[in-house]
Structure 1
């Protein structure tokens, strides 16, 4: 019976990509082969006096933070380019290999988390099973 259930599942229901967000300031980057996405050129909410008070204790899972990061100059292009690259790799990974993405920013709480979630949404919309992990989302803001 197990083989029948397994055979009836869509191959896209399986985890085909793991997206890990992290902050390079914590000096414990994830290891392994992965498509690396650098979000450090994007605006950082805690550095913007206009939104700092509201977003300092929030993170990239917060809709306001996600919108702020997404509206940063260059964010749309970065996300689209990264998603295209990931989708191309996933299309070639027909042998069951995972395609992982490591999304980096300075502290791992805002930009990397928001972009990782946007990428996960795009890959899921394309029919792929995606898991996200946010290594430093609960760490303090770095100076």
Structure 2
């Protein structure tokens, strides 16, 4: 059972930016292999994976549900009275998949009474230059 006095800090980011968030023993979630919303279902660069359409597309797929469920289980194992857990959700650029998964995890934790803070490091930022 999730403890209501626990706090979870979820950070979504893009691995291509090469500035991985720092934390001691974070729960890491890889959203890289989840379906990427195509141009028709994207809801603008600023909302990215926070848009309802993009978020549903990513997290309602069978693979998306599995990633979210597995992350929630690992978070539940770490939470205790008054504890804090860092969760790092990554995708290639941090625009759609990682933010969508981070928001879905956050909503489910909040529904269980857990305090959650969500940070999207690379949402709305341009992709870094490709390195060869």
Question: When the two structures are superposed, what TM-score results if normalisation uses the length of structure 2?
Answer: 0.84
Aligned match of 1:75? 64
> Which consecutive unaligned segments of at least 5 residues does structure 1 have?
1-10, 46-50
Runs of 4+ in 1 over 6 A off after TM superposition: none
Shift of 1:141: 4.2
Aligned match of 2:19? 28
Q: Distance in 2 between matches of 1:87 and 1:64?
A: 28
Q: Compare the two structures and name the one with the higher helix fraction.
A: 1
Distance 1:86 1:65, change over 3 A: same
Distance 1:127 1:41, change over 3 A: same
Aligned residues: 124
**RMSD between superposed Cα atoms in Å:** 1.9
Q: Select the structure of larger CA radius of gyration.
A: 1
